[in-house]
Structure 1
Amino acid sequence: MTNILHITASIRGDESVSRSLGTKLVEGLADKQDATVVTRDLAKNDLPFIDAERHAANLAPYAERSDAQHGLAKIADELIDELEAADTIVFSVPVYNFTVPATLKAWADLVARAGRTFQYTANGPEGLLTGKEVYITAASGGTGMGSEIDFMSPWLKFFLGFLGMKDVELVAADGIMGEGGEEKIAEAHEEVEKLAA
């Protein structure tokens, strides 16, 4: 039995292109791998932004945390547990103002924990979340993936690599608000079907 973690970030619910692509991919992979699926919907806006007290709680060794720190670190612990348990991770991410939604950045700030998801070495930081299959299903209204105004996909790929997830497959329906948008969405769905086959 394998575990798939589906992380979604679009505020558009069932109308979200990135989410529909990711859901199709997750369903196909789950059938193929006989996998369990956990979904983390960041659009619910239930993740806190990091502040000094939460940051200190996240860094404190588990056995040395105060009761208050355990409470502050609980959500980050849960998010990291989800990552560690996953064999496959699918990120469904829209481009908002050329980059990731703020909720995804909040998630990243919570899961980047020295000693748990990465470690410092004599040769620099080393990611600890290795050996995972990672996909990004992305959608944008006008930003071309890989273009000079795309700050979403290079940042997300870099961050995942920082945590040890270096083999990342991107499927994008980009520039869909322009001419040929429906065709671009259809092409992305065809690519997802191939990946899930």
Structure 2
Amino acid sequence: MTNVLRIDSSIKGPASVTHKLTDSILARLGGEVTERDTTTIPLIDGTWIGAAYTPAENRTPEQKATLALSDELIAEIKAADVLVIGMPIYNFGVTGPLKAWIDQICRVGETFRYTDNGPQGLAGPKRVIVAYASGGVPLGSAVDLASAYIKQVLAFIGITDVTFVAAEGVAVDESAAVARAEAQIEKLSA
């Protein structure tokens, strides 16, 4: 059975377009689903950085506690065959909650390592389907700062199979934007 990790990042929760699209994607894919709502993930800070860059065998109990959520999030990724990411566009980029998740999962020695040839991802290969929703920012346009960013972050941790399902123009005509995205979902292979 396929293990699917669902990542929701909209502050609107189940009322968001991306939440509805991820529901449709999951119905299309099937599989065993783990759900992660990023809206409760804290931002990283200096204490977190200190813990992350301390060798595991030298971490204090406090440092281990600091990294416990990060460890859990990384374990979810590693256990998944497919990631389904709900990515609404706020002010041309990813949401704050999605950025908090990204910062928690990008960890040296866990999801990437540095080599003489540059960083090497350790979390792939995986399939990713991103449910992209924007009020008026077209996917891949010059003002879309989110899609290239999420592809770069995922590639950095070793995940390069990324597909986007886009509901563009939600602020103009939400029903039409969602219908276009649903048509894209129908073409996804399970």
TM-score tier after normalising by the smaller chain length: over 0.9
User: Which segments of structure 1 move beyond 3 Å, counting only runs of 4 or more?
Assistant: none
1:127-138 matches, within 5 Å, as 127-138=121-132
Give the C-alpha shift of residue 190 in structure 1.
1.5
Gaps of 5+ in 2: none
Superposition TM-score, scaled by structure 2 size: 0.95
Give the C-alpha shift of residue 124 in structure 1.
0.5
- Separation (CA, whole Å) in 2 of partners of 1:181 and 1:8: 19
Contact 2:88 2:95 in 1 (8 A): yes
Give the C-alpha shift of residue 196 in structure 1.
4.8
Which residue number in structure 2 is paired with residue 84 of structure 1?
78
* AA aligned opposite 1:153: S
Superposition TM-score, scaled by structure 1 size: 0.92
- Separation (CA, whole Å) in 2 of partners of 1:58 and 1:79: 14
Which residue number in structure 1 is paired with residue 63 of structure 2?
69
Which residue number in structure 1 is paired with residue 154 of structure 2?
160
Contact 1:58 1:76 in 2 (8 A): no
Which residue number in structure 2 is paired with residue 190 of structure 1?
183
Give the direction of change, closer, same or farther, for the CA distance of 1:25–1:137 in structure 2 (3 Å limit). Answer: same
- Separation (CA, whole Å) in 1 of partners of 2:186 and 2:15: 19
1:30-89 Cα deviation digits (max 9, x unpaired) = 1xxxx210010112xx21111111111122232221011011010100000001111000
Please state whether the residue corresponding to 2:21 is helix, strand or coil.
helix
Please state whether the residue corresponding to 2:170 is helix, strand or coil.
coil
- Separation (CA, whole Å) in 2 of partners of 1:154 and 1:88: 19
Give the C-alpha shift of residue 19 in structure 1.
1.1
The CA RMSD over aligned residues, in Å, is: 1.3
- Separation (CA, whole Å) in 2 of partners of 1:112 and 1:181: 34
Please state whether the residue corresponding to 1:137 is helix, strand or coil.
strand
Please state whether the residue corresponding to 2:34 is helix, strand or coil.
strand
Give the C-alpha shift of residue 119 in structure 1.
0.8
Q: Does 1:23 align with 2:8?
A: no
State the number of aligned residues: 190
* AA aligned opposite 1:38: T
State which of 139, 144, 156 in structure 2 corresponds to 1:145: 139
1:34-53 matches, within 5 Å, as 35-43=31-39, 46-53=40-47
Please state whether the residue corresponding to 2:188 is helix, strand or coil.
helix
Gaps of 5+ in 1: none
Give the C-alpha shift of residue 185 in structure 1.
1.2
Contact 2:5 2:80 in 1 (8 A): yes
Contact 2:10 2:97 in 1 (8 A): no
Q: Does 1:109 align with 2:113?
A: no
* AA aligned opposite 1:5: L
